[in-house]
Amino acid sequence: MILLFFLLAVSVVSSGEAAFIGVNLGTDLSDMPSPTQVVALLKAQNIEHIRLYDADRAMLVALANTGIQVTVSVPNDQLLAIGMSNATAANWVARNVIAHVPATNITAIAVGSEVLTTLPNAAPVLVSALKFIQSALVASNLDRQIKVSTPHSSSIILDSFPPSQAFFNRSWDPVMVPLLKFLQSTDSYLMLNVYPYYDYMQSNGVIPLDYALFRPLPPTKEAIDANTFLHYTNVFDAIIDAAYFAMVDLNFTNIKVVVMESGWPSKGDASEPDATLDNANTYNSNLIRHVLNNTGTPKHPGVPVSTYIYELYNEDLRPGLVSEKNWGLFYPNGVPVYTLHLTSAGAVLANDTTNQTFCVARDGADRKLLQAALDWACGPGRVNCSPLLQGQPCYQPDNVMAHATYAFNAYYQKMAKSPGTCDFKGVAIITTTNPSHGTCIFPGSSGSNGTLVNSTSLAPSSNSSDTAGGCLAKYLYGSSPYTSSMILCVLLMTLAFL
């Protein structure tokens, strides 16, 4: 009987494709590292899928020739214009997609974000916006490469447990029915944001924390759908199956679900006691394993549910509750918020970069500030800067950015990567990409760390002296890379450390 219900209700089958884990970059790029540094982190973590909340040109250029699959987005504030004008949609595609492919591997366009629940006045033009975007892709022969859809909040699904009784909010039927027809006709997928954290928080104790976090449950604690007798061991699967059943309720049985956002905050205020590092690590680690195991859901076992984790970086400037700032896997300086419990070598996000970090000059940093910080590192900071002398391995490239990077990293490694040792008045940033080049091998490479020294000064202060031990600590770039006194100072300091 169970099998009969299953066969009658669904026709979604696995095509042999594997599920993937992607990441959301975040909404405020000004609060993040430069695009090149973001891409370096993606590569280091074997992340091959990323979702942008817009179509930022600098980010798309940085992603060129990486092979990383990119979902770009039409922001909500542009949706009305695109939904009311085919020409506006065509211009958007020309500017934000055609201008970047094939170098940048754009594979999907998310039109708006949770429009039905956050921007209901735009709902009447939502499907038109998707169709206009799709028409522009067809005209450029990109429709097979790039899928078009729109992310929904899972809150549009009502009566979500048991999943077999779920249905979409009836008031949105005039939008959902033509939307699902569009997805079906274009072989696209339903984009869904799934947050067991919020379901748990809003359940008033009905949903157990272990059930939300994918923790193992004894059979007696599993949730059972009385209509299908399917057993649910976690909230995530139950929500996905509720979406499938809601589509069945509208007579759509062959549209897959892709989760565009899911995660758990690592920090919260007093009203959010379960927003903790341990819970965030547990949820995201278990989510990644669950998705990559291709287990599917109880309704669709073996059918991949590709998922984008929200999000790559914490957003310190984001307004709202403390948790709103703390969904990231990494701090904006590139340091992991926590080390995921993953062991698969080479797997996405399985690289523990906690002890594989380097300190480099921040892209676009002011040259004078870099110069001052470099002087401090090679002077009061007591970094051995002799490899930067003319004729030495790290002399080239002969510019303040390259030399500052070497000096910053040498100090960072010497101080055992202690907190605050890679800031230098904001002109330095931590990266997981080894900056060594040619014969210039940076400290910290191949497990080589500098020696920890006793020091209370972890970064340049506004009143730092430009001298150390009576030596001038000033670098000059141009026709005379160093003053003779600087050369003498470095040599004396080198002898002092021998």
What positions carry a catalytic annotation? 114, 261
Sign of the dihedral defined by the CA atoms of residues 308, 309, 315, 320, in that order: positive
Question: What is the H or E stretch that residue 260 is in?
Answer: strand 257-262
Euclidean distance between CA atoms 284 and 263, whole angstroms: 6
- Residue 280's beta-bridge partner residues? none
The encoded tokens of residue 49 equal 């899928």
Classify burial at 279, counting beta carbons within 10 Å of its beta carbon; exposed 0-12, middle 13-18, buried 19 or more: buried
Count of beta carbons in the 10 Å neighbourhood of residue 442: 21
Q: 33: helix, coil or strand?
A: coil
Euclidean distance between CA atoms 152 and 115, whole angstroms: 7
Alpha-carbon dihedral 369, 452, 393, 358, rounded to 10 degrees: -60
In terms of DSSP bridges, do strands 69-74 and 428-431 run parallel, antiparallel, or are they unpaired? unpaired
The encoded tokens of residue 138 equal 């067809």
Upper half-sphere CA count for residue 424 (Cβ side, 13 Å): 33
Listed in sequence order, the residues at least 6 apart from 205 whose beta carbon sits closer than 8 Å to its beta carbon are none
Distances (CA, A) of 52 to 91, 198, 318, 450: 19, 23, 17, 38
Euclidean distance between CA atoms 443 and 42, whole angstroms: 23
The encoded tokens of residue 232 equal 């649910």
Q: 496: helix, coil or strand?
A: helix
Euclidean distance between CA atoms 197 and 283, whole angstroms: 9
Please give the full DSSP string across 158-216, using - where no structure is assigned. Answer: ES-SSGGG-EE-GGGHHHHHHHHHHHHHTT--EEEE--HHHHHHTTTTSS-HHHHTT--
**The length of the chain, given as a count of residues:** 498
User: Is 373:408 a contact under the CB 8 Å cutoff?
Assistant: yes
Question: What DSSP character marks residue 456?
Answer: S
Q: Which residue has the tokens 């979604």?
A: 12
The encoded tokens of residue 191 equal 């984009």
User: Is 361:427 a contact under the CB 8 Å cutoff?
Assistant: yes
Q: 343: helix, coil or strand?
A: coil
- Report the candidate in 338, 269, 333 with the shortest Cα–Cα distance to residue 309: 338
- Report the candidate in 346, 359, 481 with the shortest Cα–Cα distance to residue 417: 359
User: Is 212:198 a contact under the CB 8 Å cutoff?
Assistant: no
